[in-house]
Amino acid sequence: MAKINGNYKKLQAGYLFPEIARRTQEFQQRNPGVELIKLGIGDTIRPLSDSVVKSIRQTADLMADAQTYRGYGPEQGIPELRKALSEHYLKYNVHLKPNEVFISDGAKTDLANIQSIFAADSIVAVQDPVYPAYVDSTVISGKTSGYKDGRYIGIIYMDCLEENNFFPDLPKEKVDLIYLCSPNNPTGAVATHGQLKKFVDYARAHDAVIIFDAAYSAFISDKSLPRSIYEIEDAGSCAIEINSFSKLSGFTGVRLGWTVVPHKLCVFGTKPGEVQALWDRRQTTMFNGASNIAQLAGISVLSEQGQKETQALIDYYMENAKIIREGLNDVGIHAFGGINAPYIWAKTPNGVDSWEFFDKLMNEAHVVITPGAGFGRQGEGHFRLSAFGDKNEIKKAIDSIKRNLKI
């Protein structure tokens, strides 16, 4: 008798972004002709850079010829890309072996799947507010028992508030897996060396593993801030880093990411190399590798010319972030982030409920944002704006907020 995975029934709401899309669509049906400016989901809009387009065309030609056609590649990724990524980390003085880098089809899948190589009863800690995929995948994998006061029982939530500069204190209890995201989605806060070192020390002392989501690391321009967890001494023995080409080079539709599982990473009862081998086993069993078109394009992103083009894309979005942040501050909305991160996190005016503010902003200013409550209990009273938009549209959105939002 087949039964569904009952853990799905424990999920409290639909996934955040489809819910935003549903409400947006409903508004558009009610208000045909009204143009909405969407700064909700962080989805890139700029065209692929020249090097990437050239690479994709070249690979298409190779695939069109029986002599050069390529089928399955290694599940862990093509060696040239794994090597190019390991060399990319040398910029931060981080030394990785190519076989510690596993290529994926984007960060989100691995952020969820990585849990499967750890014990089913692992205690998971997350920042609050939090990127919802960490929480929902923890629920789906059966690590929670119920839901109370806006939180799943069984997950340890680490508050990220204005008072602690949106970086959490260490968990008071012993936890096993700790999701950290820096630059943070949604708050736009970036962890310092000192802040990350405390977590690395905690993880080493408690045999815990940090799952470090670095999907926005390319947006850090302040050289004093770490762009990889491995810039922190000893992190290689307790941290897995997950990253993506999505925001780095506009690959949200191309799909490519990577996960670093260092050889020296150990958990209770393992020897160096065992955890890395488990992830290798998991990937070779359940993943057939990222598209070779995307992987070869990824190599072009990491080339010298590709890096220049990538920087131009990042600069474009970061100018948007500045426009948003300054525009909100101009109308008296307290905004955070947006300096070394493509997200701006702001307080809803007069502490209004964040879904209510979502509707109000859509109705009055025709701007779509992400309500803070969608990121957890501590997100309530806040909202997030994404800088991944067209510059003129973003200027229009800020102008409309200034003219039309009744605060």
Amino acid making up residue 176: D
CB of 72 to ligand MLT, least distance (A): 26
Residues 6+ apart with CB under 8 A from 269: none
Measured from the CB atom, the residue of 73 and 257 that comes closer to ligand MLT is 257
CB of 131 to ligand MLT, least distance (A): 6
CB of 333 to ligand MLT, least distance (A): 20
Cα separation, 383 vs 1, in Å, equals 44
Interface with ligand MLT by CB under 6 A: which range of 35-43, 89-97, 276-284, 312-320?
A: 35-43
Phi/psi of residue 265, each to 5°? Answer: -65, 125
Looking up tokens 């850090």 gives 220
Strand order in the sheet with 156-159: 101-104, 257-260, 239-244, 209-213, 177-181, 124-128, 156-159
CB of 16 to ligand MLT, least distance (A): 8
Retrieve residue 20's tokens.
């935003």
CB of 35 to ligand MLT, least distance (A): 21
Amino acid making up residue 247: K
Measured from the CB atom, the residue of 108 and 347 that comes closer to ligand MLT is 108
Measured from the CB atom, the residue of 21 and 41 that comes closer to ligand MLT is 41
Using CB under 6 A, count the residues that bind ligand MLT.
6
Residue 370, helix vs strand vs coil: strand
Is residue 108 involved in binding ligand MLT (CB under 6 A)? yes
SS (H, E, C) 48-113: CCHHHHHHHHHHHHHHCCCCCCCCCCCCCCCHHHHHHHHHHHHHHCCCCCHHHEEEECCHHHHHHH
Looking up tokens 């503010």 gives 357
Measured from the CB atom, the residue of 100 and 380 that comes closer to ligand MLT is 380
CB of 375 to ligand MLT, least distance (A): 9
CB of 383 to ligand MLT, least distance (A): 13
Cα separation, 335 vs 333, in Å, equals 6
CB of 339 to ligand MLT, least distance (A): 18
Is residue 42 involved in binding ligand MLT (CB under 6 A)? yes
Task: Single out the residue of 146, 106, 148, 144 nearest to residue 126, CA to CA.
Answer: 144
Interface with ligand MLT by CB under 6 A: which range of 40-48, 57-65, 193-201, 205-213?
A: 40-48
Measured from the CB atom, the residue of 137 and 185 that comes closer to ligand MLT is 185
In the list 11, 21, 36, 41, the residue contacting ligand MLT (rule: CB under 6 A) is 41
CB of 184 to ligand MLT, least distance (A): 11
In the list 127, 184, 185, 243, the residue contacting ligand MLT (rule: CB under 6 A) is 185
With residue 316 as reference, give the H or E element that holds it. helix 304-330
Q: Which residue is nearest to ligand MLT (CB)?
A: 42
Is residue 382 involved in binding ligand MLT (CB under 6 A)? no
Retrieve residue 318's tokens.
């970061």
Instruction: Please check whether residue 345 is in contact with residue 336, taking contact to mean a CB–CB distance below 8 angstroms.
Output: yes
Interface with ligand MLT by CB under 6 A: which range of 38-46, 68-76, 89-97, 315-323?
A: 38-46
What separation in angstroms does the CA of 8 have from each of 3, 20, 139, 376? 12, 20, 7, 18
Is residue 44 involved in binding ligand MLT (CB under 6 A)? no
Measured from the CB atom, the residue of 18 and 351 that comes closer to ligand MLT is 18
Binding mask 333-372 for ligand MLT (x = CB under 6 A): ----------------------------------------
Phi/psi of residue 69, each to 5°? Answer: -55, 140
Task: Single out the residue of 159, 156, 152, 209 nearest to residue 184, CA to CA.
Answer: 159
The binding site for ligand MLT (CB under 6 A) comprises: 41-43, 108, 185, 386
